Structure 1
């Protein structure tokens, strides 16, 4: 007799979701691809269609956070007409909403090893995505400037955007405010500050941001 059950679709999204659930439910990571596939009832062949290793899967999860965020942003028909500042704000707001939806996994993954730098290796793909996004924004702004003297260095801006994300990520991890409202404030202030720096606006904005960070640091200790 033929089965009437609906066959589950094995794709990247299915494996990623199963992996994240596995990590949280087992309070740890699978030792081998074989063990992981056996537990989620898929073949190793299916796994290797999408990922070359468990480490590769770890990194791909963070890249997927970004691509899902980017897809959500571009569904807004007005997004392409946003200023570079608003595009960066939208990226960070949406990305941290994505991280919040997966907060349990994110916090667990970022505390996997005792050495913080080792935990950062899984963010390699995400780093490339954020730097590329920021670089494209500054290149667009530079194209609108007639003098080379007022054009901003793409490499500096893109690396700054990545360091900015790392700061915000650390802030968000320790944020205990309702709906992570303080993280939203930090995003707004940090993005406005970095754009103000490139636009040579008064130092008051930078000082204001510094006071905010100092206050939040004191309050969290």
Structure 2
């Protein structure tokens, strides 16, 4: 009888870790304990990750990678302007987060120190900022070359803060099918592009009204 042990891969480790967080509600004490409890060698873990923290960061980066992969499978995506690419990213990314909602909520609230929880998003932050730079078109860049790099960094940082706000809103959203998050995404993206265009502030005011309404109703 062949009793050869299955070789574990990166996807296996990710899946095992997510399941452990969901089932136990806490992080493994160490790589050694995580490997032993899941019947694989500690050295197999280190072939893919340096630490448990590195694994946590990679999980959120993979949510991003899967999002972009799905976007590029859409033949029409490359023809979208920047705003519609961003909207497509948001809706696809939050579909993936929703499919993994229990893990996301657990992992981002597991530590008493919120900064430690947010550190899991560092690789996501880097990848998202690169994505913003890639879809940034000349319509949203300043013509003067010496200001262009500064402006691009500013757009990347503001886009990241907007994504963080949306994640927080989604985490607190109790509406059916998270429909309020969909509204939040559309209004916030519209508002941010209005600001970049220095255009009429209709979308910004509309977004402000939505936030005000949510705040008032949530207090009742």
State TM-score, norm by structure 1: 0.91
Q: Which residue of 1 aligns with 2:144?
A: 148
Q: Name the SS of the counterpart of 1:153 in structure 2.
A: helix
**In 2: Cα distance, 1:182 partner to 1:211 partner:** 14
1:132-189 residue CA offsets vs partner (Å, 9 max, x unmatched):
111222255457x8x4399791111110110001110110011011110000010011
Q: Unmatched 5+ residue regions in structure 2?
A: none
Q: 1:187 to 1:8 in 2, by over 3 A?
A: farther
Q: Distance in 1 between matches of 2:181 and 2:135?
A: 23
Distance 2:47 2:139 in 1: 40
Alpha-carbon shift at residue 214 of structure 1 (Å): 1.3
Match of 1:100 among 89, 98, 119: 98
Q: Report 1:127-142 matches (<5 A).
A: 127-142=125-140
Judge conservation of contact 1:59–1:122 (CA < 8 Å) in 2.
Answer: yes
1:13 and 1:40 map into 2 onto residues whose CA distance is: 14
Q: Which residue of 1 aligns with 2:163?
A: 165
Distance 1:2 1:56 in 2: 34
1:9 offset after TM fit, Å? Answer: 5.1
Give 1:193's match in structure 2, choosing from 174, 184, 191: 191
Superposition map of 1:37-186 within 5 A: 37-142=35-140, 147-148=143-144, 153-186=151-184
**Is the contact made by 2:140 and 2:196 (CA closer than 8 Å) also made in structure 1?**
no
- The residue that corresponds to 2:22 in the other structure is 24
For the 8 Å contact 1:63–1:125, the answer to whether it is kept is yes
Query: CA contact under 8 A between 2:170 and 2:181: conserved in structure 1?
Result: yes
Q: Is the 8 A contact 1:139 1:154 kept in 2?
A: no
| Residue pair 2:35, 2:42 contacting (<8 A) in 1 also | yes
CA distance in 1, matches of 2:218, 2:103: 23
- Describe the SS at the equivalent of 1:113: coil
Report if the CA contact (8 A) 2:82-2:137 is conserved: no
**Separation in 2, partners of 1:108, 1:115:** 14
Instruction: Give the root-mean-square deviation of aligned CA atoms.
Output: 2.1
CA contact (8 A) 1:109 1:119 kept: yes
Deviations 1:25-48 (A, max 9, x none): 112110011111111111112111
Q: Is the 8 Å Cα contact of residues 132 and 159 (structure 2) preserved in structure 1? A: yes
Alpha-carbon distance, 1:59 to partner: 0.8
Q: Is 1:12 the counterpart of 2:34 in the alignment?
A: no
